């Protein structure tokens, strides 16, 4: 018999394993030997010296890769699944762990299919076909769920949801049915967050109500937790459907459940935590504050999820301390073999960077931020659908600014530009790459394969769909694009295809004669990086210590909270924040620009929601990124003289008809020899691709939580961002003379998803919109004066915007009356009143003139 001393590196447990296998009457199948040895090696790796641990992990990994990579007898597959479920977390690198999980899922699916096609015979009474098939189903779900947690990929989530729904339909008498129904609820809620599909929430809500109907309140809190889950699902549905009845029902259910739990003495930490998570999903400050109140009930915990939840709800010193402790616990696991969800690893890496930055340890901060960036890149790349990618982009919203700030402290200004540019409008840049990649010097056959692969991805993703049933198809199409890109890069001289650095893009944009400015507010203080038109000049750093992120969050929160609540304090908050932006950011920036009259401004994170152009004297062309501005510039340069106007003028019964008849239609149309007027969705969409200038004089509404549903109100229904992104346009300019048309989504601020970016992606050279609700008369006056300055006076669009704003701010009633006769009659009063009326400046307040924002070239 084999002795441990004869085995060298194989210890007693491995020797015993081999002895048991060799003692069998029939030789064991090779795969079983591999599995048992792999399990023993990986188990031993946790209690050996580092060198021996590495050897054990490597050998165990190789054996698992081999065992999962070959077709197995169905009866061996559950053993394979058990070992993978127990030991795959110990496998490094992560790519091999994922391969093992992928191959195990394939083995389980194949075994299940073979059992269905040719049921197994009972072997001496040990294998019951029905029970064996059920065992395979259970293992398939468990390994699929582990794969989803490991990768965070939407295509894997879709597979897991499908399995959970199938298992939830088992007979009611089956002991696993309720468990799988609850799992199905969790999976449906996860999928709804990725896809923004109300149907998943409807199904989850129906399942929860069914589970509640079959359960009873008791001391184990199960009924209460189900009720809170139902409240959570209703709140999530409100975020998508905007039906306040869902929000109110969800909040009432949760509060009632908490009261009942308090009265019965069953108010557990688990219940409080679940309720806090639900309140965090309620848009606005009230939800965060209620979540913060609940989380203070919980004892101090090093559990990372709770700590990050507290920080999101109540960012005070206690929450930051809890996060520090949680991250300290996580740090020892981050480089180990244990599988952690990528979102949690990302949050921990980012927080480690912030802590190092606060401590002044630049090297450690840069290493942590670079690691966080790498984790995010892996998570993003495995997302197939646009909605999944957009959701992933939302988690990194402040990483780029913190990372770039650390780089500027280390004197690496050029690298800071790369980081800032790479983080901006990534979805828009990818769409532009698919449409505008330069293939002129590439072999026609290779170029054709890239074009076909790009066309397929564009076709599948153009509507921004979140339909996860198509995720596998979209994922396969993206794989083909990556292969085509690699093939193009293999061509002589094409090694840099679609790999331009952020600084290179910024320099190309600045070559137009306008400096490109990245403006950001980091935790220690703000900064701007200026890329000058002169390529010989290095990027310049402008420190803005008063522009701290804490101050920005506080001030913008007050402003947006008052705006959404429509309080009388909003105009005062607007004036205050414009004054602060001028002092903290724009005045020092203007001084550094030294006489420059026009800039391309890329405002990071929350700054993109604010009227920066109102806080300075220079003309500001806002841009999602330097890359997108270059694409807009190419469209603007290639556009015709702009003689063909599409006029979309839609009024409501309460509108003053004179505004549209005289200003929004007659005054604007007078500048164009070729005018087409439409008011319905179908006619407008059909005309978009054949007009040089698009003018929408209608009502609009932004949806900050679902920015693809921000819309313009046409005569027969809304025209949404999603509609525009799916419609090819080739226009010099789009003027959105409606409310909130320049507002962007708040969940992924640096993606700047909204009407302007949607029109840039569709093919517009520039977009003029408004940041908030503005009186119809004010918008009409602003856009009328803009057209006069652009079309009649020959000013470039971005300067014409500045002219219009200054004119409205400074003009008197007499000036208005003179430029636009019959707009408003003089008051029928005594002469003194007439003189006063004529000299009055009615629109000096920034809430009137400052809303107008120009995006593009």
Report the pLDDT value the prediction gives residue 131, as an integer from 0 to 100. Answer: 80
169 versus 654: the higher-pLDDT residue is 169
Distance CA(764)–CA(385), nearest Å, equals 24
CA distances from 717 to 651, 660, 679, 699, 777 (A): 13, 19, 10, 11, 23
For the segment 273-299, what is each residue's pLDDT rounded down to a tens digit? Answer: 999 999 988 877 788 889 888 888 877
In total, the chain counts a number of residues equal to 857
Distance CA(127)–CA(119), nearest Å, equals 11
Say which range, 506-510, 657-661, 771-775, has the weakest mean pLDDT. Answer: 657-661
First-to-final CA distance of the chain: 81
Mapped onto helix, strand or coil, the DSSP state of residue 677 is strand
* Residues β-bridged to residue 649: 697
Residue 332 has pLDDT above 50, yes or no: yes
Report the pLDDT value the prediction gives residue 708, as an integer from 0 to 100. Answer: 79
CB burial readout 790-811, b (16+ within 10 A) else e: bbeeebbbbbbbbbbbebbbeb
Report the pLDDT value the prediction gives residue 27, as an integer from 0 to 100. Answer: 45
25 versus 446: the higher-pLDDT residue is 446
Q: What is the mean pLDDT of residues 557-580?
A: 91
Complete DSSP assignment for 341-403: -HHHHHHHHHHHHHHHHHTT-HHHHHHHHHHHHHHHHHHHHT--SHHHHHHHHHTTTTHHHHH
Complete DSSP assignment for 642-672: --EEEEEE---TTS-HHIIIIIIIIIHHTT-
Q: How confident is the model at residue 29 (pLDDT cuts 50, 70, 90)?
A: low
Distance CA(107)–CA(114), nearest Å, equals 11
Mapped onto helix, strand or coil, the DSSP state of residue 696 is strand
Residue 788 DSSP code: I
Distance CA(323)–CA(339), nearest Å, equals 20
Distance CA(551)–CA(334), nearest Å, equals 32
Q: How confident is the model at residue 125 (pLDDT cuts 50, 70, 90)?
A: very low
Say which range, 208-212, 496-500, 562-566, 693-697, has the weakest mean pLDDT. Answer: 496-500
Residue 399 has pLDDT above 90, yes or no: yes
100 phi/psi in degrees, rounded to 5: -60, -45
| Burial class, 196, CB count within 10 angstroms (exposed 0-12 / middle 13-18 / buried 19+) | buried
Q: Is 794 left (phi over 0), alpha (psi -120 to 50) or beta?
A: left
* Residues β-bridged to residue 767: 734, 855
Q: How confident is the model at residue 850 (pLDDT cuts 50, 70, 90)?
A: very high
| Burial class, 849, CB count within 10 angstroms (exposed 0-12 / middle 13-18 / buried 19+) | buried
Contact of 687 with 676, CB cutoff 8 Å: yes
Report the pLDDT value the prediction gives residue 5, as an integer from 0 to 100. Answer: 41
Report the pLDDT value the prediction gives residue 617, as an integer from 0 to 100. Answer: 93
Complete DSSP assignment for 394-444: HTTTTHHHHHHHHHHHTT-HHHHHHHHHHTSSHHHHHHHHHHH---TTS-H
Residue 796 has pLDDT above 50, yes or no: yes
Report the pLDDT value the prediction gives residue 837, as an integer from 0 to 100. Answer: 66
Distance CA(852)–CA(778), nearest Å, equals 10
Q: What is the mean pLDDT of residues 409-423?
A: 96
Distance CA(765)–CA(631), nearest Å, equals 8
CA atoms within a 13 Å half-sphere pointing along the CA-CB vector of 702: 26
Say which range, 611-625, 642-656, 704-718, 824-838, has the weakest mean pLDDT. Answer: 824-838
Residue 773 has pLDDT above 80, yes or no: yes
Residue 52 has pLDDT above 60, yes or no: no
Q: How confident is the model at residue 825 (pLDDT cuts 50, 70, 90)?
A: low
Pair of tokens at residue 356? 């190092």
Contact of 702 with 754, CB cutoff 8 Å: yes
Contacts of 687 (CB under 8 A, 6+ apart): 646, 676, 678
Contact of 309 with 276, CB cutoff 8 Å: yes
Contact of 646 with 678, CB cutoff 8 Å: yes
Q: What is the mean pLDDT of residues 334-354?
A: 80
What sign does the CA torsion over 639, 641, 644, 646 have? positive
Contact of 29 with 13, CB cutoff 8 Å: no
Residue 50 has pLDDT above 60, yes or no: no
| Beta-sheet pairing, 598-603 with 516-521 | parallel
Residue 827 has pLDDT above 60, yes or no: no
Q: What is the mean pLDDT of residues 415-424?
A: 95
For the segment 266-279, what is each residue's pLDDT rounded down to a tens digit? Answer: 899 899 999 999 99
Distance CA(840)–CA(810), nearest Å, equals 10
30 versus 604: the higher-pLDDT residue is 604
What sign does the CA torsion over 168, 100, 193, 323 have? positive
Distance CA(81)–CA(91), nearest Å, equals 15
Report the pLDDT value the prediction gives residue 778, as an integer from 0 to 100. Answer: 87
Please choose, from the candidates 757, 435, 770, the residue with its C-alpha nearest in 3D space to the C-alpha of residue 623: 757
Q: How confident is the model at residue 25 (pLDDT cuts 50, 70, 90)?
A: very low
Report the pLDDT value the prediction gives residue 705, as an integer from 0 to 100. Answer: 72
Report the pLDDT value the prediction gives residue 510, as an integer from 0 to 100. Answer: 96
For the segment 212-262, what is each residue's pLDDT rounded down to a tens digit? Answer: 988 776 556 788 999 999 999 999 999 888 889 999 999 999 999 999 999
Report the pLDDT value the prediction gives residue 147, as an integer from 0 to 100. Answer: 93
Contacts of 553 (CB under 8 A, 6+ apart): 606
For the segment 69-90, what is each residue's pLDDT rounded down to a tens digit? Answer: 888 888 889 999 998 998 888 8
Mapped onto helix, strand or coil, the DSSP state of residue 854 is strand
Contacts of 356 (CB under 8 A, 6+ apart): 362, 364, 365, 368
Distance CA(396)–CA(391), nearest Å, equals 10
Report the pLDDT value the prediction gives residue 600, as an integer from 0 to 100. Answer: 97
Residue 522 has pLDDT above 90, yes or no: yes
Q: Would you give the distance in Å from CA 410 to the centre of its chain?
A: 29
Triad 130, 131, 135: Cα angle to 5°? 120
Q: What is the mean pLDDT of residues 288-313?
A: 74
Report the pLDDT value the prediction gives residue 419, as an integer from 0 to 100. Answer: 96
Say which range, 24-38, 470-484, 489-503, 759-773, has the weakest mean pLDDT. Answer: 24-38
| Beta-sheet pairing, 540-544 with 526-531 | antiparallel
Share of the chain above pLDDT 90, in %: 42
Q: How confident is the model at residue 8 (pLDDT cuts 50, 70, 90)?
A: very low
Contacts of 270 (CB under 8 A, 6+ apart): 221, 225
Say which range, 185-199, 618-632, 643-657, 729-743, has the weakest mean pLDDT. Answer: 643-657
Whether this model's pTM surpasses 0.95: no
What sign does the CA torsion over 176, 177, 182, 187 have? positive
Report the pLDDT value the prediction gives residue 1, as an integer from 0 to 100. Answer: 32
Say which range, 384-393, 505-514, 610-619, 727-736, has the weakest mean pLDDT. Answer: 384-393
Please choose, from the candidates 337, 340, 248, 258, the residue with its C-alpha nearest in 3D space to the C-alpha of residue 294: 258
Distance CA(600)–CA(367), nearest Å, equals 31
Report the pLDDT value the prediction gives residue 772, as an integer from 0 to 100. Answer: 93
Q: What is the mean pLDDT of residues 730-742?
A: 90
Residue 365 has pLDDT above 50, yes or no: yes
Residue 126 has pLDDT above 60, yes or no: no
Residue 596 has pLDDT above 50, yes or no: yes
433 versus 361: the higher-pLDDT residue is 361
Residue 809 has pLDDT above 90, yes or no: yes
Share of the chain above pLDDT 70, in %: 86
CA distances from 646 to 66, 663, 690, 808 (A): 64, 15, 9, 25
| Burial class, 477, CB count within 10 angstroms (exposed 0-12 / middle 13-18 / buried 19+) | buried
For the segment 675-686, what is each residue's pLDDT rounded down to a tens digit? Answer: 999 999 999 999
Pair of tokens at residue 845? 């307040």
214 versus 506: the higher-pLDDT residue is 506
CA distances from 390 to 86, 386, 566, 723 (A): 33, 6, 29, 17
């Amino acid at each position: 018999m084999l002795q441990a001393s004869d085995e060298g590196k194989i210890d007693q447990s491995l020797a015993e394993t081999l002895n048991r296998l060799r003692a069998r009457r029939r030789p064991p199948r090779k795969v079983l030997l591999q599995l048992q040895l792999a399990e023993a090696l990986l188990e031993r790796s946790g209690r050996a010296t580092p060198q021996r641990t590495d050897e054990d992990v490597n050998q165990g990994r190789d054996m698992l890769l081999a065992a999962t990579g070959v077709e197995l007898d169905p009866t061996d597959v559950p053993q394979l699944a058990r070992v993978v479920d127990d030991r795959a977390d110990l496998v490094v690198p992560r790519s091999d762990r994922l391969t093992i999980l992928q191959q195990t899922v394939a083995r389980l699916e194949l075994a299940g299919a073979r059992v269905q096609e040719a049921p197994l015979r009972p072997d001496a009474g040990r294998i019951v076909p029905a029970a064996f098939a059920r065992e395979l189903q259970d293992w398939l779900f468990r390994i699929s769920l582990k794969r989803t947690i490991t990768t965070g990929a939407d295509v894997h989530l879709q597979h897991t949801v499908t399995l959970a729904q199938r298992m939830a339909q088992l007979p009611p008498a089956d002991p696993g049915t309720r468990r799988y129904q609850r799992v199905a609820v969790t999976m449906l809620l996860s999928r709804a967050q990725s896809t923004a599909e109300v149907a998943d929430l409807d199904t989850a809500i129906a399942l929860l109500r069914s589970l509640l109907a079959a359960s009873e309140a008791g001391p184990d809190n199960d009924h209460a937790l189900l009720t809170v889950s139902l409240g959570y699902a209703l709140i999530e549905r409100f975020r998508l459907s905007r039906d306040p009845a869902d929000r109110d029902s969800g909040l009432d259910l949760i509060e009632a459940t908490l009261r009942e739990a308090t009265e019965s003495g069953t108010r557990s930490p688990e219940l409080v935590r679940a309720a806090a998570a639900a309140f965090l999903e309620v848009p606005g400050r009230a939800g965060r504050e209620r979540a913060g109140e609940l989380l203070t009930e919980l004892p101090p915990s090093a559990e990372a999820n709770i700590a990050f939840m507290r920080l999101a709800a109540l960012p005070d010193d206690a929450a930051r301390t809890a996060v520090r402790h949680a991250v300290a616990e996580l740090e020892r696991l981050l480089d180990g073999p244990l599988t952690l969800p990528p979102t949690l690893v990302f949050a921990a890496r980012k927080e480690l960077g912030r802590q190092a930055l606060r401590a002044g340890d630049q090297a450690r901060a840069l290493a942590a931020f670079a690691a966080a960036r790498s984790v995010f890149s892996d998570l993003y790349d495995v997302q197939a659908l646009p909605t999944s990618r957009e959701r992933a982009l939302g988690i990194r919203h402040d990483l780029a600014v913190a990372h770039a700030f650390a780089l500027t402290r280390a004197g690496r200004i050029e690298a800071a530009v790369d980081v800032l540019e790479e983080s901006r409008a990534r979805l828009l840049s990818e769409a532009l790459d698919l449409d505008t990649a330069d293939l002129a010097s590439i072999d026609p056959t290779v170029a054709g394969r890239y074009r076909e692969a790009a066309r397929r991805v564009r076709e599948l993703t153009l509507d921004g769909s979140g339909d996860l049933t198509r995720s596998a198809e979209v994922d396969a199409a993206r794989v083909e694009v990556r292969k085509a890109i690699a093939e193009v890069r293999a061509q002589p001289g094409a090694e840099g295809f679609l790999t331009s650095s952020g600084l290179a893009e910024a320099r190309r944009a600045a070559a137009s004669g306008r400096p490109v400015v990245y403006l950001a507010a980091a935790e220690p203080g703000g900064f701007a990086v200026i890329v000058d038109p002169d390529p010989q000049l290095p990027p310049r750093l402008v420190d803005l210590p008063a522009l701290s992120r804490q101050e920005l969050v506080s001030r913008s929160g007050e402003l947006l909270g008052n705006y959404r609540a429509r309080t009388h304090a909003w105009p005062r908050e607007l004036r205050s924040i414009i004054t602060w932006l001028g002092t903290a950011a724009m005045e020092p920036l203007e001084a550094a620009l030294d006489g420059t009259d026009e800039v391309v401004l890329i405002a990071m994170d929350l700054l993109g929601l604010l009227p920066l152009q109102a806080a300075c004297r220079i003309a500001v062309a806002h841009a999602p990124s330097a890359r997108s501005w270059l694409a807009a510039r190419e469209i603007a340069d290639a556009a015709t003289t702009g003689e063909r106007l599409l006029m979309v003028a839609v009024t409501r019964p309460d509108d003053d008809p004179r505004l549209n008849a005289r200003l929004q239609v007659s005054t604007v149309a007078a500048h164009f020899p070729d005018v087409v007027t439409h008011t319905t969705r179908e006619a407008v969409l059909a005309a978009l691709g054949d007009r040089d200038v698009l003018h929408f004089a209608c009502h609009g509404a932004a949806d900050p939580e679902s920015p693809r549903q921000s819309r313009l109100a046409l005569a027969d229904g809304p025209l949404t961002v999603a509609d525009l992104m799916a419609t090819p346009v080739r226009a010099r300019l789009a003027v959105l003379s409606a409310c909130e048309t320049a507002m962007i989504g708040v969940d992924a601020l640096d993606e700047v998803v909204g009407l302007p970016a949607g029109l840039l992606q569709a093919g517009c050279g520039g977009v003029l919109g408004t940041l908030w609700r503005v009186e119809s008369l004010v918008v009409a006056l602003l856009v009328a004066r803009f057209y006069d300055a652009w079309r009649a006076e020959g000013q470039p669009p971005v300067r014409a915007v500045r002219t219009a704003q200054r004119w409205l701010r400074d003009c008197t009633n007499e000036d208005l009356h003179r430029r636009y006769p019959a707009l408003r009659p003089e008051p029928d009063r005594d002469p003194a009143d007439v003189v006063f009326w004529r000299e009055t400046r009615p629109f000096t307040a920034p809430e009137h003139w400052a809303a107008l924002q120009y995006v593009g070239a």
